[in-house]
């Protein structure tokens, strides 16, 4: 049975998010592909960064109106969790 390197996976995900924000910051006219934006938002969501994930999902929906409904579904999920945990 293989052992899973969770620390390595977490580091790669953190690197992906940092790189995504660096691209957005440095290259404003470069359009980040849909699937990368959704993946970054999903990673933020998994790290319980619901507010940031919600904002990124909103941006995906605005930037790619012709894209599949998956961003809208994730956006609603992020809002639900954010407001649910906020009340606790």
Domain boundaries, the chain: 6-87
Question: Is pLDDT of 88 > 60?
Answer: no
Question: Is pLDDT of 87 > 70?
Answer: no
Q: Which pLDDT does position 79 carry in this prediction?
A: 72
pLDDT band of 84, cuts 50, 70, 90: low
Residue with tokens 């961003």: 71
Check: pTM over 0.85? Answer yes or no.
no
Tens digits of residue pLDDT in 1-53: 456 666 666 777 777 777 777 777 776 776 777 777 788 888 887 777 777 77
Q: Are 60 and 71 in contact (CB under 8 A)?
A: yes
Q: Are 53 and 41 in contact (CB under 8 A)?
A: yes
């Amino acid at each position: 049975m293989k052992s899973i390197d969770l620390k390595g996976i977490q580091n790669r995900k953190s690197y992906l998010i940092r790189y995504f924000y660096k691209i957005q910051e440095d290259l404003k006219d470069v359009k980040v592909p849909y699937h990368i934006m959704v993946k970054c938002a999903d990673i933020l969501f998994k790290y319980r960064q619901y507010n940031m994930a919600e904002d990124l999902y909103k941006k995906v929906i605005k930037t790619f109106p012709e894209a599949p409904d998956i961003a809208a579904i994730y956006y609603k999920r992020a809002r639900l969790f954010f407001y649910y945990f906020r009340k606790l």
